[in-house]
A = this chain, B = another copy of it.
Amino acid sequence: MPHFTIEYSANLDAAVDMSEFCATILKAALGTGMFETGAVRVRAIRCDAYAIADQLPENGFLDMSLRMGAGRSIEAKAAIGDAVFAAAEAFLKPQLATPHFALSFEIREINPDLSWKRNAIHPRLRSGS
């Protein structure tokens, strides 16, 4: 279930390896112990057109959303959010050290009555093969 979608301004590509960033978020999510490996999907969407704050060309952003299954406690959700956000902050430390970057993260639950899924990765990983 856990779906991480990252939207970011294209000017980050010059300095940030977005595949590495995705792998870092995946690792942080699994590190919480609250997700099954086969369920986690992280992806990044590069936005070529954007307008940020006072529109300096150096301005950039990375915004992350996590959609996940309903039913966890607010404490569990906060723990997941804290861990993932800390990993993002550590990875983007150089960007956060400039006065031109904004990082954000939001968690949202998926309504189980309005959700459909079929995961062909699970059987492979659950069987350990």
Shortest C-beta distance, A1 to chain B (Å), equals 8
Is A52 part of the contact surface with B, judged by Cβ < 8 Å? yes
Shortest C-beta distance, A121 to chain B (Å), equals 5
A17-32 near B? 1/0 per residue, CB < 8 Å: 0110111011000000
> Which B residues are in CB contact (< 8 Å) with A54?
37-38, 121, 125
Main secondary structure of the interface of A (DSSP, over half): mixed
Copies, count: 3
Task: From B41, B47, B108, give the contact of A50 (CB < 8 A).
Answer: B41
Query: In the docked arrangement, what's the CA distance between A97 and B101, Å?
Result: 38
* A interface, size bucket: 35 or more
A54-83 near B? 1/0 per residue, CB < 8 Å: 110001010100010000001001100110
Contact B3 A43 (CB under 8 A): no
Contact B78 A99 (CB under 8 A): no
Task: From B38, B61, B78, B116, give the contact of A41 (CB < 8 A).
Answer: B61
